[in-house]
């Protein structure tokens, strides 16, 4: 087979190297106009080697085929009638997601009331009154009753895992893959995840409700897609609408929901528009934008009209002396928020190793049943809360108190930094242990406490009284959120919608834009969006070692080892060229290996399929004959 303008490739049977079609899929990343390839979720590490010979005999014919492919309409795109139908389906998804999120948040409120003010709180108080005070350490400011509150959420989560007799199922990452494969929803697992999230958040575990809200929206979209019998491309579009509805209803922020779906979710699950020759919107792009807007707007309207109290930060009136003079100050804050976000990601991975028993000296954790690990993380939250109850989840009370400058510790830099470090550590532990919840709300906490502490340093130690505590707290919250999710527009818009204040957007933009590069110098060479590893790590089943099929370094090493063992000079040169592209920043190794893992090849298909042909492409019989693969 031929690669237009490059080489002609033949294939022979060998036991070590991936198929020729799989490696040609890698070139689709480097040359976006390469012919589209069929998708397969099954990773391959065995198959065929490549024999390349230099020739340009088929370059012209390949370009002709490419031009015909571009000019032909894609059959997997929605037509105008389907586009209208998708808008209607998006309205249903938005309404359903809004109602489900309202019920979810009311469940959290009910759980919190029972835990901290209801019969359980009374039981804890009664038990504490019977304990001999002489036998307890007399430490000022310590409330031992707080240990029992998060523990209840961890205990319920562990009980759900025992009753379910299996894990909670995939998070958002796995659900997006299931959307592509058309896997039906598992209602038992979905309900177990949501009820566990209610238990964890209602008891105060250090997580947030927005992640489960996104999953609710996605699940509603999957249910609608299954009912309507939509194909893969339409399911992906509706999945974006569901994610937007979840964020919009969860935060009461429709614009943030739209941007979240288009900035984070949609680029991840829909790669079919890469390489188009111009910037003109396709039918699929128009349909995606329309469905996302419709779903987010309706979900927000339903949430507002429901019994859920509107979530909005109460911002104290703040001052800014000179917008231009303070921009360097906010850029410095952006660097610090990038360090905090990178530290959080690092701690998540370290706690994952801890719960898997991979930390030297703590290998005994590997023998702890996975059902008990959420209880351990919840207990850790309770122990810390005896001294610092602010680290527990009580909605946005702590962030609101900082923005309103009403917190008693707002001028205490040491307390603010202590709260930030403890919150980062506890959230990482909860995420890695398998407790259900999200990290939107904790990210805002990280940034608000860091911003307030930064203000104290600027005004108290350096004498730079150019902005108020509220200003720094708002910018810090937006910057950390943008850095954790690598979504700058989402971070800026969320703070704007929650505060209803546009005056500080320029400062937020300066901080966010500058900090986006800072984590990349600290983290690995192939960063991925935080939401991907967050939902993956939130599944207790994923707390073990990374498998070879998931580790890009292992996969890449296997390719090189196969080429060396087979003494395939041509394949080694190809891998070397791709490695050069990665080192120069043109493409990252993670992307290359993801293509190997996700793009497969069915050997029973005709050669036109193996070469990337498919519906909507015009290929003449002579070309098929020229490209026929030789087999042994």
pLDDT digits (tens, 9 = 90+) for 170-197: 767 777 778 877 788 888 888 989 999 9
| Domain membership flag for residue 312 | no
Same domain, 63 and 84: no
Helices (H), 39-79: 59-71
Residues 293, 242 share a domain: yes
Residue 49 pairs with which residues in a beta bridge?
A: 12
Question: Do residue 584 and residue 447 come from a single domain?
Answer: no
How far apart, in whole angstroms, are the C-alpha atoms of residue 78 and residue 89? 13
CA 197, CA 199: separation in Å to the nearest integer?
A: 5
Final residue before a domain boundary, out of 512, 542, 572: 542
Same domain membership, residue 574 and residue 525: no
Q: What is the pLDDT of residues 136-145, one digit of tens each?
A: 555 666 788 8
Question: Residue 442, Cβ neighbours under 10 Å: how many?
Answer: 26
Indicate whether 26 and 107 sit together in one domain: no
**Tokens representing 250?**
């969860």
Instruction: Read off the pLDDT of residues 197-240 as tens digits, 9 standing for 90 and up.
Output: 999 999 999 999 988 999 999 999 999 988 888 887 788 888 88
Out of 509, 542, 575, a domain closes at 542
The pLDDT > 90 percentage for the chain reads 24
Domain around 598: 8-75+554-626
Gyration radius from the chain CA atoms = 27
Residue 5 has pLDDT above 90, yes or no: no
Residues 493 and 617 in one domain: no
8-state DSSP, 215? H
Do 70 and 84 belong to one domain? no
Query: How high is the pLDDT of residue 589?
Result: 54
Q: Which of 400, 201, 212, 393 has its CA nearest to residue 312?
A: 400
Q: Which residue has the tokens 């026929």?
A: 628
Do the domain assignments include residue 187? yes
Distance CA 316, CA 294 (A): 33
> 587-603: string of b/e by CB count within 10 Å (b at 16+)?
bbbbebbbbbbbbbbee
pLDDT of res. 315: 65
Phi-psi region of 118 (alpha: psi -120 to 50; beta: other; left: phi over 0): beta
The pLDDT, as a whole number, for residue 231 is 81
Rounded to an integer, what is the distance from CA 506 to the centroid of its chain?
26
Q: Is residue 349 part of a domain?
A: yes
Examine the pLDDT at 368 and tell me if it is beyond 80. yes
Q: What is the C-alpha separation between 360 and 93, in angstroms, rounded?
A: 48
Clarify whether residues 233 and 96 are in a common domain. yes
The answer to the question of residue 409 being in a domain is yes
pLDDT at residue 98 in the model: 92
pLDDT tens digit sequence for 535-582: 444 444 444 434 434 445 555 565 566 556 555 565 666 666 666 655
The pLDDT of 432-460, averaged and rounded, is 91
Task: State pLDDT tens for residues 102-117.
Answer: 999 999 999 999 999 9
For residue 263, give the CATH number of its domain: 1.10.3080.10
What residues contact residue 257 under an 8 Å CB cut-off, 6+ apart? Answer: 243, 244, 245, 246, 247, 248, 249, 251, 292, 295, 296, 299, 300
- pLDDT at residue 528 above 90? no
Give dist(CA 228, CA 574) in Å, integer.
Answer: 44
Please state, in angstroms and rounded to a whole number, the distance separating the CA atoms of residues 87 and 238: 9
**Would you place residue 493 in the very low, low, confident or very high pLDDT band (cuts 50, 70, 90)?**
confident
Kindly tell me if the per-residue pLDDT of 483 is higher than 80. yes
534 shares a domain with 485: yes
Q: Of 92-96, 126-130, 370-374, 443-447, give the lowest mean pLDDT range.
A: 126-130
Q: Are residues 370 and 501 in the same domain?
A: yes
Closest to 437 in 3D by CA, of 222, 110, 196: 196
Tokens of 580: 């050069």
Say which residue, 301 or 46, is predicted with more confidence.
301
CA proximity to 550, closest of 533, 567, 531: 533
Q: What is the 3-state secondary structure (H, E, C) of 326-388?
A: HHHHHHHHHHHHHHHHHHHHHHHHHHHHHHCCCCCCCHHHHHCCHHHHHHHHHHHHHHHHCCC
What per-residue confidence (pLDDT) applies to 151? 94
- Helices 187-202 and 148-164 meet at what angle, rounded to 10? 170
Residue 2 falls inside a structural domain: no
pTM, 2 dp = 0.69
| Residues 484 and 439 sit within 8 Å (Cβ to Cβ) | yes
Higher pLDDT, 273 or 39: 273
* Same domain, yes or no: 368 and 437: yes
* Domain membership flag for residue 412: yes
Claim to verify: residue 369 and residue 504 sit in the same structural domain: yes
Cα–Cα distance measured from residue 258 to residue 487, given in angstroms and rounded to the nearest whole number:
12
Residue 315 covered by a domain:
no
**Domain-located, residue 318:** no
Q: Are 290 and 86 in contact (CB under 8 A)?
A: yes
**pLDDT tens column, 393-412:** 987 888 888 888 888 888 88
Q: How many domains does the chain have?
A: 3
Residues ≥6 apart with Cβ < 8 Å to 443: 341, 477, 480, 481, 484, 485
Q: Residue 327 to residues 34, 339, 392, 507, 514: CA-CA distances in angstroms?
A: 44, 19, 33, 6, 11
CA–CA separation, 58 vs 242, rounded Å? Answer: 45
Reading the block at residue 211, the tokens are: 């992640």
Phi, psi of 481, deg, nearest 5: -60, -45
Alpha helices in 386-468, H assignment, sequence order: 397-403, 413-433, 440-456
pLDDT per residue as tens digits for the range 333-361: 888 998 999 999 999 999 999 998 988 88
What is the pLDDT at residue 377?
Answer: 95
Exposed / middle / buried, residue 335 (Cβ in 10 Å: 0-12, 13-18, 19+) = middle
């Amino acid at each position: 087979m031929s690669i237009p303008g490059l080489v002609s490739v033949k294939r022979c049977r060998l036991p070590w190297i991936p198929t020729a079609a799989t490696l040609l899929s890698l070139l689709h990343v480097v040359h976006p106009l390469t012919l589209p390839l069929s998708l397969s979720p099954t990773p391959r590490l065995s198959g065929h080697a490549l024999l390349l010979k230099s020739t340009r005999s088929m370059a012209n014919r390949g370009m002709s085929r490419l031009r015909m492919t571009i000019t032909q309409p894609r059959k997997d795109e929605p037509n105008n009638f389907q586009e209208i139908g998708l808008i209607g389906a998006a309205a249903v998804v938005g309404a359903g997601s809004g109602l489900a999120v309202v019920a979810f948040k009311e469940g959290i409120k009910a759980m919190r009331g029972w835990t901290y003010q209801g019969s359980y709180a009374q039981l804890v108080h009664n038990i504490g009154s019977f304990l001999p005070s002489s036998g307890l350490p007399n430490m000022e400011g310590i409330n031992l009753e707080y240990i029992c509150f998060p523990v209840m959420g961890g205990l319920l989560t562990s009980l759900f895992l025992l009753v379910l007799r299996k894990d909670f199922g995939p998070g958002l990452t796995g659900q997006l893959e299931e959307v592509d494969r058309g896997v039906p929803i598992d209602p038992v697992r979905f309900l177990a995840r949501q009820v566990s999230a209610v238990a964890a958040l209602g008891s105060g575990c250090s997580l947030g409700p927005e992640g489960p809200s996104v999953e609710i929206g996605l699940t509603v979209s999957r249910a609608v897609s299954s009912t309507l019998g939509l194909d893969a491309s339409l399911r992906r579009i509706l999945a974006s609408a569901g994610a937007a509805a979840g964020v919009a209803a969860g935060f009461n922020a429709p614009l943030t929901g739209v941007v979240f779906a288009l900035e984070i979710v949609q680029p991840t699950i829909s790669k079919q528009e890469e390489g188009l020759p111009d910037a003109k919107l396709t039918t699929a792009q128009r349909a995606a934008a329309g469905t996302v807007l419709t779903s987010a707007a309706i979900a927000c309207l339903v949430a507002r009209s429901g019994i859920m109290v509107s979530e909005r930060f109460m911002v104290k009136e703040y001052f800014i002396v000179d917008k231009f003079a303070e921009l360097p100050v906010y850029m410095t804050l952006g660097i610090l928020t990038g360090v905090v976000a990178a530290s959080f990601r690092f701690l998540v991975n370290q706690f994952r190793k801890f719960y898997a028993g991979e930390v030297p000296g703590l290998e005994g954790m590997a023998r702890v049943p996975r059902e008990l690990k959420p209880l351990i993380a919840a207990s850790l939250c309770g122990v810390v809360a005896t001294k610092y109850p602010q680290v527990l989840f009580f909605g946005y009370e702590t962030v609101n108190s900082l923005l309103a400058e009403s917190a008693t510790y707002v001028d205490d830099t040491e307390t603010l930094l202590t709260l930030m470090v403890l919150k980062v550590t506890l959230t990482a532990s909860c995420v890695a242990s398998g407790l259900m919840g999200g990290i939107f709300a904790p990210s805002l906490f990280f940034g608000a406490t860091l911003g307030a502490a930064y203000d104290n340093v600027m005004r108290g130690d350096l004498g730079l009284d150019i902005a108020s505590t509220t200003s720094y707290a708002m910018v810090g919250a937006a910057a950390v959120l943008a850095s954790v999710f690598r979504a700058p527009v989402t971070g800026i818009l969320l703070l704007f919608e929650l505060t209803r204040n546009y005056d500080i957007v320029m400062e937020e933009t300066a901080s966010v834009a500058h900090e986006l590069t800072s984590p990349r110098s600290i983290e690995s060479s192939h960063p991925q969006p935080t939401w991907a590893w967050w939902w993956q790590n939130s599944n207790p089943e994923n707390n073990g070692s990374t498998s070879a099929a998931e580790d890009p370094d292992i996969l890449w090493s296997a390719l090189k080892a196969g080429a060396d063992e087979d003494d395939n000079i041509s394949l080694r040169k190809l891998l070397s060229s791709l490695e050069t592209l990665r080192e120069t920043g043109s493409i990252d190794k993670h992307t290359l290996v993801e293509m190997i893992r996700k793009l497969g090849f069915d050997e029973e298909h005709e050669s036109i399929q193996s070469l990337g042909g498919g519906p909507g492409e015009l290929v003449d019989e002579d070309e098929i004959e020229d490209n026929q693969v030789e087999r042994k």
